[in-house]
Amino acid sequence: MPWIDPLPLLNRQGPIPSRLVTSRTVALNRKPTSQPLKLQCRNEPASLDVQRKDYPVSISNGQRSTLVLGTRGSKLALCQSEWFQSQVHKVAPEVRVTLKKIQTSGDKIVDVPLAKIGGKGLFVKEIEDALLTGDIDFAVHSMKDVPAQLPAGLDILCVPAREDARDALISRTGCSFQELPLGATIGTASLRRQAQLLQARPDLTITMLRGNLDTRLRKLKDGQFDAIVLAAAGLHRLAWAATITEYLPPVLSLPAIGQGALGIEGRSDDEFVRSILLRLNHQETQTTVTAERALLQRLEGGCQVPIAAHATLSGERLVLEGLVASIDGKTIIRDQIAGTGQQAHALGVQLAERLLTRGGDKILREIYGSA
């Protein structure tokens, strides 16, 4: 499919014309769709919680008529936050929600690979600081950006229904991944994607690609890359699905932990906000994300390490697949585990232990030792 510039579609109202919708897809047990994955999950939002701590009484956590939602300022972040703002209005129309844009460290530093910046929470720390000081009441994050450990006093209070978790390839000429020419240049900021794509095709040149979605798409259009790989969820949410050349199946590119899901973070003891957000919690998504994040926490992963995991649920059966990879893709330790949704957290920990035992510990030591 030829290149379609998504930027003119940004301000378009209504559905994208059918002639712009790509037919080249790789299904993941379903047809490509922007509808949330229908999974199943257990009922306790606390399964995503970390150690709790009483919050200073100077912060008002009682009932109030106006709440402040913290968000990054990118088009995607605002799109996600405005959508969630509308959902809150549906379940609590008596409460007014205002948006407050907050610039994060990850937004400020755009010319350095995330792995070289170091640290965790590059896209959430300043927002979490605003929560802790009471400047905002809750925040909308892309769950894949949220570190495994949250600051004391903060919890993930709500996980809405998940979007498509897959990675998406967008090529300038319409070539699929396997059709890309020898030595083609692919842009991505993710070591996870880099490792898996190089394992499948060692001939490729992987080049750093940072910036917001519209910036990345513009760089592709300008000819800086033959193709780029992005999260399908963000493209769907911005109504840019027409730009997708191919959905990459998990067997080729296992998604990032929490990819496609949103995490709504708030203060642990703010029962007023918690009572509202619980009405929007998607139980199915919560369990799959719980399993993935349990693996992340045990591996102590961050953006410096190629780690991936994705959980699915069919009936009561939960299947979690995960991997740890060397940056060059020459070594990938991959495994999966199955159980029930009630075992989500335990399954994540068990799979992490398996990966470490099979050689993941060596990969992690080498990567952290050279960081």
Catalytic residues: 145
Q: How far apart are the first and last CA of the chain?
A: 40
Cβ atoms of residues 98 and 69 within 8 Å: yes
Cβ atoms of residues 55 and 61 within 8 Å: yes
CA atoms within 13 A on the CB side of 274: 15
User: Quick one: which of 210, 212, 260 has its CA closest to 77?
Assistant: 212
- Cα–Cα dist 165/348, whole Å: 18
Say whether 100 sits in a helix, a strand or coil.
Answer: strand
- Cα–Cα dist 132/148, whole Å: 18
Instruction: State which amino acid sits at residue 338.
Output: A
Residues facing 69 on adjacent strands: 99, 138
Say whether 356 sits in a helix, a strand or coil.
Answer: helix
Cβ atoms of residues 283 and 41 within 8 Å: yes
The contacts of residue 187 (CB under 8 Å, 6+ apart) are: 206, 207, 208, 209, 216, 219, 220, 224, 225, 227, 228, 229
For 249, other C-beta atoms within 10 Å of its C-beta total: 16
When computed from its CA atoms, the radius of gyration of the chain, rounded to whole angstroms, is 20
Burial class (CB in 10 A: 0-12, 13-18, 19+), 315: exposed
Two tokens, residue 154: 């903060």
Two tokens, residue 33: 């769709």
Enter the DSSP assignment of 203: T
Torsion of CA 167, 168, 170, 175, to 10 degrees: 110
